[in-house]
Amino acid sequence: MTAFPDDMTIARQAVLSPIEAIGTKIDLPPEALYRYGPYKAKLDLAAINGLSQAANAKLILVTAISPTPAGEGKTTTTIGLGDALARQGRKTLVCLREPSLGPCFGMKGGATGGGHAQVAPMDEINLHFTGDFHAITAANNLLAALVDNHIYWGNALGIDPAKVSLRRCMDMNDRALRQIVVGLGNNGQTREDGFAITVASEVMAIFCLARSLSDLEERLGRIVIGQSFDKKPITAKDLQAAPAMTALLRDAFQPNLVQTLEGTPTLVHGGPFANIAHGCNSVMATQTALKLADYVVTEAGFGADLGAEKFFNIKCRQASLRPAAAVVVATVRALKMHGGVAKKDLSVENTAAVTAGLGNLLRHIENMQKFGVPVAVAINHFTADTAAETDIVRSACERIGITAHVCRHWAEGGKGALELAGTVAALAESGIADFRPLYPDALPLVEKIRAVACEIYRANAIDIAPAALRKLERYEAEGFGALPVCMAKTQYSFSTDPDRRGAPEGHIVPVRDVQLSAGAGFVVALCGDIMTMPGLPRDPAAHRIRVNEAGLIEGLF
């Protein structure tokens, strides 16, 4: 059997360029960069705000089939596609989210790609990076502290402690903090509270959707922290919190510039999860990239039913983005799992299982086409894949007019995704994209939830808990009815049952609660058993992460 170097070895053998040299590839002078060591920098806001919009910039979304333990490689494909476009002489920027410490130390490990399709320096990006998530955590918790401080000092706003909806946050999986009690020991009003993971916080969502520092402050001020005793919403602006929160976020709001192992400029900024938030990198980074390059390749988290749906219905709607093409990533291994094969048996050829699992891929393609965006398929290649298995996927795509390419970017870098890049560029340049959101702003909130559940998840119905339905009615009465919805749902299935793989239909989507994110500009619908604070697995990745004798970090993959 051929022995392949691991991701970390490949990353350390790569020769990186000084970050100033990466900046020159997108016409940024050294004075526009704030250096964080030799290989990463933040972009000066004044410099990027002065750039004119490139009229012909093409925005390309990379999404995927429903994730499985077999892996799909969406980030790896995003990076490989960006490198391939750059190899073809196209001025390209890749836009990614920042990894969360929760998954890094939990089950997933690092999130900077893999093999020869990585962004670097991967250990720094996967851990503290430039401190953005720490700043977002601090801003959220400043607001939480101001809420309880206001109640302690007389509660002039009449905040009802039982109706405080804002949760504290930290960027770590810690199930013990899902439900806590604060104010013990005569330190304020005793009340129930809890933590969300930072990437699920409204501050993170706002950070990634704001278009300027002034927009950031205005959105932060709109955060509804709870209700008064007379049932009126209380906001961060009422608590005079937004200016100080913005001060904490000022430096973090500058997009981060790094590079792929092939030297393709990459902006890594923001990181909301797609199963409990909107799952896209920052609008600030995406709009900056569109000004600096001709092709911008970005990704949205988890399967297309989550990240891509929210990219189209939330991010593109709010930021007036018009994507030119989309790529759906699939692997033969994952399709076998959707076809009923256990993970331990994936290395054995099984064309019947690939055929059985195709329904998941085809469903995602159909859903993407509902948004008016042309689609290509990337078959992310694994060494155990056979020609017979990949031919089944390509033939199935061809029958519906979709081009699928076997991609080997993990092993070959951008060279392994050149055919995909050619197809994607042709789609983007064809002008056939006619982007449209799934539902209009004027549709009632309940009907927006129903539209996603029935059109994207292929459910027969939704079942909204009575208390959640009353909240939706109140949001409508308070003027929030035009907001899009952000569905919080398991990433593993079109249904709310994580064990229902493939392409289930005819199910019911239960909505147990809804939450208003007025600053972010959407209403969250909590479906099934999804939680905003994950827990660590029995054997977390943290058990294998260490600093070796040479001072290098090991175990992030």
**pLDDT band at residue 2, thresholds of 50, 70 and 90?**
very low
CATH code, residues 56-130+252-430: 3.40.50.300
- Is residue 220 a contact partner of residue 252, using CB atoms and an 8 Å limit? no
Would you state the pLDDT for residue 515? Answer: 94
- Is residue 81 a contact partner of residue 296, using CB atoms and an 8 Å limit? no
| Burial state string for 107-128 with b = 16 or more CB within 10 A and e = fewer than 16 | bbbbbbbbbbbbbbbbbbbbee
How many of the other CB atoms lie within 10 Å of CB of 415?
15
Tens-place pLDDT, residues 313-332: 999 999 999 999 999 999 99
Would you state the pLDDT for residue 118? Answer: 96
CA 178 to chain centre: 22
How many of the other CB atoms lie within 10 Å of CB of 184?
9
Tens-place pLDDT, residues 353-408: 999 999 999 999 999 999 999 999 999 999 999 999 999 999 999 999 999 999 99
Tens-place pLDDT, residues 339-349: 999 999 999 99
| Burial state string for 544-556 with b = 16 or more CB within 10 A and e = fewer than 16 | ebeeeeeeebebb
Tens-place pLDDT, residues 110-163: 789 999 999 999 999 999 999 999 999 999 999 999 999 999 999 999 999 999
Rounded mean pLDDT, 11-33: 92
* Dist CA 176 CA 155 (whole Å): 29
Q: Where are the domains of the chain?
A: 56-130+252-430, 132-248, 445-527
Rounded mean pLDDT, 457-476: 97
Active site residues per annotation: 74, 76, 97, 108, 274, 302, 382, 410
pLDDT exceeds cutoff 60 at 46: yes
Would you state the pLDDT for residue 14? Answer: 78
pLDDT exceeds cutoff 80 at 419: yes
- Is residue 335 a contact partner of residue 357, using CB atoms and an 8 Å limit? yes
What's 445-527's CATH class? alpha beta
Would you state the pLDDT for residue 54? Answer: 59
| DSSP bridge pairs for 159 | 228
- Residue 293 tokens, joined: 């390059």
| Coil, helix or strand at residue 526 | strand
Tens-place pLDDT, residues 221-235: 999 999 999 999 999
Tens-place pLDDT, residues 241-251: 999 999 999 99
- Residue 393 tokens, joined: 């996927």
* Residue count of the chain: 557
Q: Is 132-248 in CATH node 3.30.1510.10?
A: yes
Cα dihedral sign, 116-117-118-120? positive
- Is residue 40 a contact partner of residue 258, using CB atoms and an 8 Å limit? yes
Rounded mean pLDDT, 172-201: 94
How many of the other CB atoms lie within 10 Å of CB of 37?
10
* Dist CA 271 CA 301 (whole Å): 9
Would you state the pLDDT for residue 307? Answer: 95
How many of the other CB atoms lie within 10 Å of CB of 269?
30
* Dist CA 529 CA 241 (whole Å): 32
- Is residue 344 a contact partner of residue 373, using CB atoms and an 8 Å limit? no
Cα dihedral sign, 27-29-35-38? positive
* Dist CA 120 CA 112 (whole Å): 8
The packing angle between helices 132-152 and 202-209, to 10°, is 130
